[in-house]
Amino acid sequence: MFDVIIVGAGVIGSSIARNLSKYKLSILVLEKENDVGDGASGANSAIIHSGYDPKPGTLKAEMNVKGNPLLYKACSELDVEALRIGSITLANNDEEIEVLKDLAKRSEENGVEYQLLDHDELLKIEPNITKQVKMGLLAPTAGIINPFELVVALMENAIDNGVELKLNQEVIDIKKNDDSFTVFTKDNNYQAKYIINASGVYSDKVSEMVNPKFFTVNPRRGEYFVLDHFDNNFIKHTLFNVPTSKGKGVLVSPTTHFNYLVGPSSDFINDKDSVATVKEILDEVKFNAKRLVDNVPYQYQIRVFSGVRAVSDNNDFIIEETSKRFINVAGIQSPGLASSQAIALKVEDIFIDSYQELFGEVGKNENFNPRRRPLIRLNKKTIEERRELIKKDPKLGRIICRCEQISEGEVLDVLNRSCPPHTIKGVKKRCRPGFGKCQGGFCEPLVMKILQDYYGLDKTEIDYGKKGTYITLCKTKNE
């Protein structure tokens, strides 16, 4: 019997698992996919929002404002890339200036630092923005993060502190017993005193396994362009359109590796799992991005992708003990990433209060360590530092990803951690081979070979990402 089962290993489930690992508790995380962070947490804008945008008084506003500094702290403990570059929301006409003034008022109500800048001030700090710009709202505490690294690091640290993770375990039913739950997956069942539902876009369905229906999660897709890194100074802040009823609007932003993101769109869809991209929608993204930057250099485009937001009916986060020992953490749409550490703290409080009332004092995990072993990050080292490292481990001298300069030794390092990858995409998320201009054209076969050797598998058994997304179907020639 586990003390608690967390359903879903996105940024929310992983953050909660890490927070609860500070206590003497047996914690199991069940994830339906073959890796952590493959839902919304791995397909978003990667912005650490400052918190000026959510409506004052909502849970979103409270969690975002509290979560912003907590996320920077978690990143420094876990060696996750995050840069506090600030965001600027741009207004190009009088109507948009009015919205910006309302946002300034919201910033004050939410207690978020901001500054209003005029046309000249804006062009001085961001020379490549549209010359149409009239006013901008600078939020200096906003930042950018590597979201893939974040989820892996949170879960790796949680596992190092005693949490158990089971992948490929889709929760299909939950039975409430007198003082426990039985959680059913296709091939197993598990017992727990508490359930924490952090299943993202499926959180309404998982809640309904135990509770009467009281909310719906509607999937709203966002589509993006990714540009290669061509100039680290092209845009220095995250640039936003003024928000509309559809959300925060399109942004143009550097990533932590100085690629550029352009997007997202915002459209309700019927299929919770659909991460397709549509030409007409991407054309609309381009049109809206023009209101931020006149000449986005799309000749550097290397990829398009999409992610699905989990939008609840009341458009706010749902964080509560809905029924005895069943905690819903649902409808966590944007700014869920930025709010993740505040959400985990709130869930920790709800859980510990409730648990102690029923089962007595929970002890502290004396061995809890908030840090994880830093990644190698060879491409950020000086030549001398690289030489020293390669002397100790020659595999660090074998570059397998030419675009991003990633070595075989770094792939082996992530394989030897407590939340290792099993797929090519899993390796890519952890140490970046395949993120560059060739999009895996050169490095994928090499990553595949490393995975084969490490796990003792046949080529045909290696998936690109989700189960069944194999790359080779059968052997050819003399193999």
Ligand X SMILES: Cc1cc2nc3c(=O)[nH]c(=O)nc-3n(C[C@H](O)[C@H](O)[C@H](O)COP(=O)(O)OP(=O)(O)OC[C@H]3O[C@@H](n4cnc5c(N)ncnc54)[C@H](O)[C@@H]3O)c2cc1C
* Partners of residue 181 on adjacent β-strands: 176, 192
CB 393 within 8 A of CB 409: yes
Per CB under 6 A, the segment of 114-122, 192-200, 210-218, 370-378 that binds ligand X is: 192-200
Can you tell me which of 16, 21, 39, 429 binds ligand X, judged by CB under 6 A?
A: 39
Per CB under 6 A, the segment of 27-35, 290-298, 423-431, 454-462 that binds ligand X is: 27-35
Can you tell me which of 92, 218, 328, 334 binds ligand X, judged by CB under 6 A?
A: 334
Can you tell me which of 16, 40, 376, 396 binds ligand X, judged by CB under 6 A?
A: 40
The CB-of-266 to ligand X minimum distance in angstroms stands at 8
The CB-of-223 to ligand X minimum distance in angstroms stands at 8
CB 53 within 8 A of CB 248: yes
* Partners of residue 173 on adjacent β-strands: 184
Q: What is the C-alpha R_g of the chain?
A: 23
Per the listing, tokens 């309302």 go with 102
226 lies in the binding site for ligand X (CB under 6 A): no
Cα end-to-end span (Å), the chain = 47
In the bound state with ligand X, the residue whose beta carbon lies nearer, of 31 and 160, is 31
**Is 49 tagged catalytic?**
yes
In the bound state with ligand X, the residue whose beta carbon lies nearer, of 276 and 358, is 276
222 lies in the binding site for ligand X (CB under 6 A): yes
Site for ligand X in 308-327 (CB under 6 A): 308-309
440 lies in the binding site for ligand X (CB under 6 A): no
Question: How far is residue 93's CA from residue 106's CA, in Å, rounded to a whole number?
Answer: 20
Give the number of residues in contact with ligand X, rule: CB under 6 A: 40
Can you tell me which of 18, 32, 60, 237 binds ligand X, judged by CB under 6 A?
A: 32
12 lies in the binding site for ligand X (CB under 6 A): yes
75 lies in the binding site for ligand X (CB under 6 A): no
In the bound state with ligand X, the residue whose beta carbon lies nearer, of 114 and 317, is 317
Per CB under 6 A, the segment of 45-53, 278-286, 393-401, 467-475 that binds ligand X is: 45-53
Can you tell me which of 11, 20, 242, 447 binds ligand X, judged by CB under 6 A?
A: 11
Can you tell me which of 16, 17, 38, 117 binds ligand X, judged by CB under 6 A?
A: 38
CB 250 within 8 A of CB 272: no
User: x-or-dash pattern for ligand X, window 133-172, by CB under 6 A?
Assistant: -------------------------------------xx-
51 lies in the binding site for ligand X (CB under 6 A): no
49 lies in the binding site for ligand X (CB under 6 A): yes
Can you tell me which of 196, 198, 319, 344 binds ligand X, judged by CB under 6 A?
A: 198
6 lies in the binding site for ligand X (CB under 6 A): no
Question: Which two tokens mark 309?
Answer: 């937001």
Q: What angle do CA 231, 232, 234 make, to 5 degrees?
A: 65
The reply to whether omega before 264 is within 30° of 0 (cis) is yes
**Residue 29 backbone dihedrals phi, psi, to 5 degrees:** -110, 130
CA distances to 7, 169, 181 from 162, in Å: 17, 19, 21
In the bound state with ligand X, the residue whose beta carbon lies nearer, of 116 and 167, is 167
Contacts of 382 (CB under 8 A, 6+ apart): none
9 lies in the binding site for ligand X (CB under 6 A): yes
337 lies in the binding site for ligand X (CB under 6 A): yes
Q: What angle do CA 303, 309, 311 make, to 5 degrees?
A: 165
8 lies in the binding site for ligand X (CB under 6 A): yes
User: x-or-dash pattern for ligand X, window 258-297, by CB under 6 A?
Assistant: ------x---------------------------------
Q: Find the residue with minimal CB distance to ligand X.
A: 336
The string over 85-94, giving b where at least 16 C-beta atoms fall within 10 Å of a residue's C-beta and e elsewhere, is bbbbbbbbee
Question: How far is residue 414's CA from residue 430's CA, in Å, rounded to a whole number?
Answer: 7
Indicate the SS3 state at residue 454: helix
45 lies in the binding site for ligand X (CB under 6 A): yes
Contacts of 249 (CB under 8 A, 6+ apart): 240, 241, 242, 243, 288
Question: Which two tokens mark 193?
Answer: 């005193």
81 lies in the binding site for ligand X (CB under 6 A): no
89 lies in the binding site for ligand X (CB under 6 A): no
Question: How far is residue 194's CA from residue 5's CA, in Å, rounded to a whole number?
Answer: 6
Question: How far is residue 14's CA from residue 12's CA, in Å, rounded to a whole number?
Answer: 5
Contacts of 106 (CB under 8 A, 6+ apart): 52, 53, 54, 55, 56
**Residue 471 backbone dihedrals phi, psi, to 5 degrees:** -105, -40
Catalytic annotation, residues: 49
Binding site for ligand X (CB under 6 A): 7-13, 30-33, 38-41, 44-47, 49, 170-171, 198-202, 206, 222, 264, 307-309, 332-338
